[in-house]
Every structure is written in C-alpha cells, then in structure tokens.
Amino acid sequence: MEEFVNYILQFGNLNKQQTDFIVSKAKTLELHKEDYFSEAGKIPKQVGFLLEGVVRFCYYNNKGEEITQYFIDENNFVSDQQRFEAQVVASEYIQAVTDSKLLVFSKKDWDEIGNTIVGWDAITGLILKNCLLKTIERRSPLVSEDATTRYLSFIEHFPGLVNCIPLSHIASYIGITQQSLSRIRKNIR
C-alpha cells in the first residue's frame, strides 16, 4: 500500500484522511501467469496498480498474430483507462506475464473517489499523462532502430524481464520473429 500512496502523492497533495479513503476502496487481486486483467470484447471492470509482477497489453492483428504493444512493471497503473471511463468494449487484452499482485478499484469505487476528493481528477489526469509519456518513450525509438538496438533497449528498460517472460512476447514487442531474436541473443552473448 505504501508504494501506491507514494506513487499518487507524486502527482498531487493529499492528506492522510484522503489517502486512507482511497486505500479503503482498493481490493487486492492476484493474477497467475497468463491470466487476463482485461479482455478484448469486454468492458474493462477495474483500474489496477501493479504491486508485484509484470503485465502486457496485446492484441491480435488481422492475420491472427498476437502483438505485444507494451509491458507494465511494478509500481505503475494498469488500465485501459479510456474504455474503463467510458464503459465501452476493450479492443486489446491486458495479461499477466508473470504471477502478479495488484490493488484494484471497481468503476463504482473509482467514481466515488473522484466524487469525494477535490482535485482527484487532476491527479489522475497527471498520472495518465505520465503513463502515456513512459509508453511513448519506450515505444518511439523502436520504430527507427535496428533489431539488435531495439533488443538492447528492451533489456535497458526491463532488465528483470529478459529471463522470466517468453521470448515470443519480447520478439513481438520489438517487432521481429522469435528466430531473429534467438540469433540476436546468440550474437550479443
């Protein structure tokens, strides 16, 4: 809980009574590796804060290939925020890559926090902006770099993931085949 409170306090001033209220609305959710937090074709039910583990956002392209868009690691929010807020059907999956533990908020509780705490919308707006910036920072170089550089960049951003997630997810994330990734890994050892 402390990590969560410290995280949200980076984006605004809240007193102990307010943070206690927010925490009182949170429930703990444990996901096993490969469990879904949110699924395409369904309305997202909750917002989560990742305490332990790693999740990924993924979708299937028109050829039926699974594409990993990005990874979220510990002490970050996990949400298909726009679709959660609008309560519309998601177009991508949020899946646990490792066993994971999250604090989660239902739509009802999330709205209640927003209706109770003055300035909560501004705080969550800054959190969302921060999450988007992190995603853009991690994704945009992947477009212009060669495959080896993209893999080394992945290792730099997610040093703990390389040996604990399937190579197919990493290959998809950096936009290459699993065979190409195996060659790159062999060449940089």
Task: Write out pLDDT tens, residues 41-52.
Answer: 999 999 999 999
Share the mean pLDDT of the chain.
88
- Report whether pLDDT(37) > 70: yes
Q: What is the pTM of this model?
A: 0.86
pLDDT digits (tens, 9 = 90+) for 92-151: 999 999 999 999 999 999 999 999 999 999 999 898 888 777 766 655 555 567 888 888
Q: Do residues 47 and 66 touch, judged by C-beta distance below 8 A? A: no
Locus of tokens 């925490």 = 23
Strand partners, 70: 57
Q: What is the CA radius of gyration of the chain?
A: 18
Locus of tokens 């926090």 = 113
- Residue 109 Cα to chain centre, angstroms: 20
Mean pLDDT of 25-53: 95
- What does the pLDDT read at residue 162? 80
Strand partners, 27: 104
- What does the pLDDT read at residue 142? 55
Q: Do residues 103 and 5 touch, judged by C-beta distance below 8 A? A: no
Q: At CB < 8 A and 24+ separation, what contacts does 63-70 make? A: 65/172, 66/168, 66/172, 67/172, 68/169, 68/170, 68/172, 68/173, 69/139, 69/173, 70/135, 70/138, 70/139, 70/173
- What does the pLDDT read at residue 130? 82
- Report whether pLDDT(8) > 90: yes
Q: How confident is the model at residue 23 (pLDDT cuts 50, 70, 90)?
A: very high
